[in-house]
Amino acid sequence: MQQQLQLPIYLDNNATTPVDPEVLQAMLPYFTRHFGNAASRNHSFGWIAEEAVNIAREQTASLIGASTDEIIFTSGATEAVNLAIKGAFEMYSSRGKHIITCATEHKAVLDTCKHLEKRGATVTYLPVDESGIINLKILEKSIQKDTLLIAVMFANNETGVIQPIETIGKIAKERGILFFSDATQVVGKIPVNVEKYGIDLLCLSAHKIYGPKGSGALYVRRKDPRVRLIPQTDGGGHEKGMRSGTLNVPGIVALGKACEICKRKMDTEALHINTLRNKLEAGLTTLQHIYINGANTQRLPNVTNISFDQIKGNGLLTEISKTIAVSSGSACTSANPEPSYVLKAMGVSNELAKNSIRFGLGRFTTEEDIAYTIDTVTQIVASLRK
Ligand SMILES: *Cc1c(COP(=O)(O)O)cnc(C)c1O
């Protein structure tokens, strides 16, 4: 069945996703009819809200192989990252003040680590190879007597490159070090199981999985070991005292629903999106002198990050963006494009990193979108090479 092509095309699903209509339907009653405060214990408005939150907690836990009492709802992944890293550091700093992380982490992790360096933490930023993967030998050598936390993301938001999480989990467990993984890009796209991967702390975000912005969660392991965190927000003692503040019931209901849909659709959806992603890569490869970043390693099914060589000027992203929403993967102003620190850590030159584009496919990407993107990008690249 042919679908009508709608411009502009959205291929920035790693930045955010549209809310799935099914998710929207699920959350709407909790703004109006069921507006109660989930902490109100003595009337039905509160009970209905609380029950909805309980269901969302089950749905969220179920997607990552956790139990419901291990889920702390937050305003998103950034808040969850801050609670995990700062909360663990403050709780366990008498044991040690050393944190190991990775050069290609999201800014939420890097800047939280930078902040803790001012508070007495020492931080090792692991390098990555040209595929974007950390070296496990370097990780093991970096471990010190006072290492308290290893924070390595499950998959990178700019390239989709997946880290050897299971092995990192084993190494951390053997040494009695906590393991935090930012799985914001991964949850809902490929199977994640905190037991299998030996993860102690994990963050996720609704708006990356077809839920609304401003809703997310932190997984906090309850046994083997029981992880405790110093709260970063004090108040009414919500979320087992780890995150005070009236619960965002509609956002939480939406996150739960988004998780439930992902779990239900994951296998077929990942296959479908991966087929489209491979078509896009194959279609663009007819252009010479392009490099798919992280091509030789395991990547998420929905994203491709491509460096276009021999481009004249700074116009590539601007030209593509006229009809296709993509990203350079890094924060930049059009006047002064800062090359991506993720690509630079992978050894990509400044020049090439400036001409790199992240294409992020999603649930609503169509065959027609990909065909249009191949044609358009091919034409733009050809004309910028003339
Ligand atoms: C989007 C993202 C975040 C931040 O999530 P928010 O919910 O927007 O705060 C953190 N880490 C990764 C890897 C992300 O992709």
The predicted-structure confidence for 110-166, as pLDDT tens digits, reads as follows 999 999 999 999 999 999 999 999 999 999 999 999 999 999 999 999 999 999 999
Q: How far is the CA of 75 from the centre of ligand 1 (A)?
A: 11
Distance CA 131, CA 45 (A): 52
Would you call 332 a catalytic residue per the annotation?
yes
Distance CA 275, CA 280 (A): 9
Q: Which two tokens stand for residue 66?
A: 């956790």
- Choose one of 162, 184, 187, 201 to mutate for the ligand 1 pocket test, by most ligand atoms within 8 angstroms of C-beta: 184
Q: Is the pLDDT of residue 3 over 80?
A: no
Q: Is-contact 108 78, C-beta < 8 A?
A: yes
- Choose one of 208, 302, 303, 340 to mutate for the ligand 1 pocket test, by most ligand atoms within 8 angstroms of C-beta: 208
Q: CA torsion sign, 369 to 374 to 376 to 377?
A: positive
Work out the pLDDT band at 5, boundaries 50, 70, 90: confident
Considering only CA atoms, which residue is closest to atom 14 of ligand 1?
184
Work out the pLDDT band at 386, boundaries 50, 70, 90: confident
User: Which residue type occupies 199?
Assistant: I
Q: How far is the CA of 211 from the centre of ligand 1 (A)?
A: 13
Q: Cβ–Cβ contacts within 10 Å for residue 161, how many?
A: 26
What are the φ/ψ torsions at residue 181 (nearest 5 degrees)?
A: -130, 125
Q: Is the pLDDT of residue 333 over 90?
A: no
Residue 216 CA: nearest ligand 1 atom is 7
Q: For tokens 């190494």, name the residue.
A: 171
Residue 76 CA: nearest ligand 1 atom is 7
Q: Is the pLDDT of residue 1 over 80?
A: no
Q: How far is the CA of 184 from the centre of ligand 1 (A)?
A: 6
Distance CA 325, CA 320 (A): 8
Q: How far is the CA of 371 from the centre of ligand 1 (A)?
A: 29
The average confidence (pLDDT) of the chain is: 96
User: Which residue type occupies 105?
Assistant: E
Question: What is the SS3 assignment for 228?
Answer: coil
Distance CA 219, CA 254 (A): 17
- Give the model's pLDDT for residue 314: 86
**Would you give the distance in Å from CA 358 to the centre of its chain?**
14
Q: Is-contact 200 57, C-beta < 8 A?
A: no
Residue 79 CA: nearest ligand 1 atom is 9
List, for residues 71-93, the tens digit of each pLDDT value: 999 999 999 999 999 999 999 99
Q: Residues with Cβ within 6 A of ligand 1? A: 76-78, 106, 108, 153, 157, 182, 184-185, 205, 208, 216
DSSP 76: S
Distance CA 211, CA 209 (A): 6
| Greatest Cα-to-Cα distance within the chain, rounded to the nearest angstrom | 72
Residue 15 CA: nearest ligand 1 atom is 1
Query: Catalytic one among 102, 203, 262, 332?
Result: 332
The model carries a pTM of 0.97
Q: For tokens 């294409």, name the residue.
A: 359
Q: How far is the CA of 79 from the centre of ligand 1 (A)?
A: 9
- Give the model's pLDDT for residue 336: 59
Q: Is-contact 82 108, C-beta < 8 A?
A: yes
Contacts of 323 (CB under 8 A, 6+ apart): 7, 8, 9, 372, 376
Q: Which of 218, 237, 215, 217 is nearest to 227 (CA)?
A: 218
Distance CA 266, CA 63 (A): 10
Distance CA 64, CA 195 (A): 9
Judged on CB neighbours under 10 Å (0-12, 13-18, 19+), 253 is buried
Contacts of 295 (CB under 8 A, 6+ apart): none
User: Taking the C-alpha atoms of 181, 129, 344 and 161 in order, what is their torsion angle to the nearest 10 degrees?
Assistant: -50
Q: How far is CA 14 from CA 10, 167, 264, 360, in A?
A: 11, 25, 20, 6
**Would you give the distance in Å from CA 118 to the centre of its chain?**
26
Angle between helices 44-64 and 249-284 (to 10 degrees): 30
Q: Which of 67, 70, 149 is nearest to 105 (CA)?
A: 149
Q: Is-contact 273 42, C-beta < 8 A?
A: no
List, for residues 345-385, the tens digit of each pLDDT value: 999 999 999 999 999 999 999 999 999 999 999 999 999 99
Q: How far is the CA of 40 from the centre of ligand 1 (A)?
A: 31
DSSP 12: B
Residue 214 CA: nearest ligand 1 atom is 7
Q: Which residues pair with 98 in a beta bridge?
A: 122, 147
